[in-house]
Amino acid sequence: MEVPATTCRTGAHGTLPFIATICKVCKTGRNIPHSARWRGEDVLTPRVKLADVAKVVGVSTATVSRVVNGKPGVAEATRTAVLAGLETLGYRIDDPQGTHEGLIAVMVPELGNPTFGSFANELVIQLAAADRRMVLCTSGPGGTSEDQYLDLLAGVAVDGLISVSGTAADTLGTNDHYQRLLAGGMPTVFINAYDATIPGAFFNTSDAEAISQSVGHLRRYGHTRIGLALGQQRYLPAQRKAEAFLALGLPAESIVSTIFSIEGGQAAASRLLDAGHTAIVCGSDVMALGAIREVRSRGLEVPDDISIVGYDDSALMPFTSPALTTVRQPIAALCQAAVEALLSAMAGAPADPAEILFHPDLIIRRSTGPVHDR
């Protein structure tokens, strides 16, 4: 079979030998015509990843990505070495039109929780304003895991990564994959997570302040038997909320940990109501909806009999019945700060490893009211 001739991306410097991947004139990748592919595979197999080239040349994956995408900030000697490595290994350029340039990966646990959808939507807006595009990776149960996504991203010309409420928030997990990613030079920032072993920038809502606002509001209504419904405390936000709850002088017996779902909220509320609590603070709006369901299943009303406070202020919470009192996360501010830090790191000026806490706001609606004896 005769292999069609190939050209560089510009098409201005004649044909390239088939084994060549870089035009020595304009330093761009070759443009492989679709006709050069058959049986669903490129003529170059197996596929070479950016990480493979980085390992051979002795530079970071981010440096190789900059060279592939024609980005500034790479020394000429390093650029020459990377180009030689690309040609030697036969790196495949899948993006002749430059559609991967400015691509940012965003990792969220799943989209079933409306809050994660809100984060993803806000990041789309913030990145678009910076002339960047987003590829969304969701790592829900039963799907592709975060470390699997990171392995995949190592072979794609992404310029940076934003992780939202991911494994970096799991206090019982290991985050070697993120440590390797940062050590390899991939600009990465985190939202609503923290791991002291990861030398990254973290942007979080203050869980302690959220609990203080919620409990203070209920106490002003006369509630003393206040319960806390959380997800698993292996995750840092839940752990911090529990610690803040105890610091306010409330008993550990008033904390119930289940999962962040409607069913989890209902199960937690069942135990707290059986124990005589008159108010329940929930770790998410979704859990709060489950708590309201449990209250009503007992023939009780919110807030006449039981007060409920949520967390997140998801988009539809003003329209529930009753409208949910909840703690609003400053999603726009968190995303803006994370994007600015990421762009700075991509420009060669990474932020110092640190955690930045943002203030939440208690949004008082109709699901809380004065205490009534039960």
How do beta strands 325-328 and 188-191 pair?
Answer: unpaired
The string of pLDDT tens digits covering residues 43-95 is 334 557 777 888 888 888 878 877 877 777 788 888 888 888 887 777 755 54
Give the Cα separation of 15 and 27 in Å (integer): 14
**What is the pLDDT at residue 351?**
82
17-21, 206-210, 212-216 — which is least confidently predicted? 17-21
**What is the pLDDT at residue 107?**
92
For residue 2, the one-letter residue type is E
Angle at 329 between CA 324 and CA 333, to 5 degrees: 145
- Spell out the domain ranges in the chain: 50-89, 103-205+331-358, 207-329
Q: Which residues pair with 134 in a beta bridge?
A: 104
pTM value?
A: 0.73
Listed residue (151, 165, 295) closest to 227, CA to CA: 295
Question: Do 103-205+331-358 and 207-329 agree at the fold level?
Answer: yes
The string of pLDDT tens digits covering residues 106-164 is 999 887 788 999 999 999 999 999 889 899 988 877 777 887 887 777 666 688 999 99
Is pLDDT at 217 greater than 60 in this prediction?
A: yes
Listed residue (102, 139, 69, 169) closest to 339, CA to CA: 102
Q: Classify domain 103-205+331-358 by CATH architecture.
A: 3-Layer(aba) Sandwich (3.40)
Report the CATH superfamily, name and number, of domain 207-329. Answer: Response regulator (3.40.50.2300)
pLDDT band at 343 (very low <50, low <70, confident <90, very high): very high
SS3 per-residue string spanning the chain: CCCCCEEECCCCCCEECCCCCECCCCCCEEECCHHHCECCECCCCCCCCHHHHHHHHCCCHHHHHHHHCCCCCCCHHHHHHHHHHHHHHCCCCCCCCCCCCCEEEEEECCCCCHHHHHHHHHHHHHHHHCCCEEEEEECCCCCCCHHHHHHHHCCCCCCEEEEECCHHHECCCCCHHHHHHHHCCCCEEEECCCCCCCCCEEEEECHHHHHHHHHHHHHHCCCCCEEEEECCCCEHHHHHHHHHHHHCCCCHHHEEECCCCHHHHHHHHHHHHHCCCCEEEECCHHHHHHHHHHHHHCCCCCCCCCEEEEEECCCCHHHCCCCCEEEECCHHHHHHHHHHHHHHHHCCCCCCCEEEEECCEEECCCCCCCCCCC
Is pLDDT at 16 greater than 70 in this prediction?
A: no
